[in-house]
Amino acid sequence: MTETRSPRKVLILGALSAMAAATARRLAAQGAEFVLTGRKADALEREANDLKARGAGSVSIQVIDLLETSRCDAVMDLAVEAMGGLDTVLVFYGILGDQAQAETDPQEAERIIAVNYSSAVHWVMAAARALEAHAGSSGVLLTASSVAGDRGRRSNFVYGSAKAGLSVLMQGLAHKWAAQDNAPRAVNLKLGFVDTPMTDGIEKGGPLWAKPDDIAAIAERALVKGGPNVYAPWFWRFIMLAIRVTPFFVFNKVNL
């Protein structure tokens, strides 16, 4: 007999990203409950209404700038109260930033690091504490990182360094939980090229580009099993392996 589980109780940090919204739609069809966070109240309300129409058990919103890390534990408590528990946390926010500007403007470099890594540390650790307390082995913490963190490249090494930090954080958390009984799971999606508003300034096309719903399907599967690192789509594992093992005297001649 196939074991079924109760619908998930999901907190989404960065619910207005295209990938988060696509993932939420899939979970709503399974009757999941949600707390959605983001900076735009009207957009969150529209997203909440859409998820309810798709079958979500309940949807609450929390308007917040996720750089406000002093509110991490309060948001976790709010999610537990709103849904009567918490077993799934999705961290889907981030920015690409401007690499060229970051090389001459410390504030731009700091912005990239703050959004993609230093604020995420606070949210990940708060989520870990909440899942340990309220979900145990049924809990899952999933983050959206990037293959840019696999090797520093001249085109985006500030962004890449932040995503590398997030990936190592999640690997360490997964290692911690692997040694514990009744512990949650930590899953880190390493994203390749995804056609979203965040990548509007990049020329798109070709087989390497995924759509938000492609990533949502991978995230949905990863919530059930897999990790701690899941390349999304799968073929990026082999692309990045080749990039990582390329000797520097060859790598330095390639414009990446």
- Set out the domains of the chain in order of their start, with CATH numbers: 9-251 (3.40.50.720)
pLDDT single digits (tens) 174-203: 999 999 999 999 999 999 999 988 787 777
Separation of alpha carbons 105 and 204, rounded Å: 28
Helix axes 212-222, 18-28, angle to 10 degrees: 50
Instruction: Assess whether pLDDT exceeds 80 at residue 25.
Output: yes
Q: Is 159 considered catalytic here?
A: yes
Instruction: Assess whether pLDDT exceeds 70 at residue 4.
Output: no
Instruction: Assess whether pLDDT exceeds 60 at residue 126.
Output: yes
Q: State mean pLDDT over 221-242.
A: 95
Q: Cis before residue 184, ω within 30 degrees of 0?
A: no
Q: How confident is the model at residue 2 (pLDDT cuts 50, 70, 90)?
A: very low
Q: What angle do CA 110, 112, 115 make, to 5 degrees?
A: 100
Q: Residues 91, 13: contact at Cβ < 8 Å?
A: yes
Strand-by-strand arrangement of the 9-13 sheet: 58-63, 33-38, 9-13, 88-91, 140-146, 185-191, 229-232
Q: Which member of 93, 117, 159, 231 is catalytic?
A: 159
> Which residues, listed in sequence order, are joined to residue 58 by a DSSP beta bridge?
33
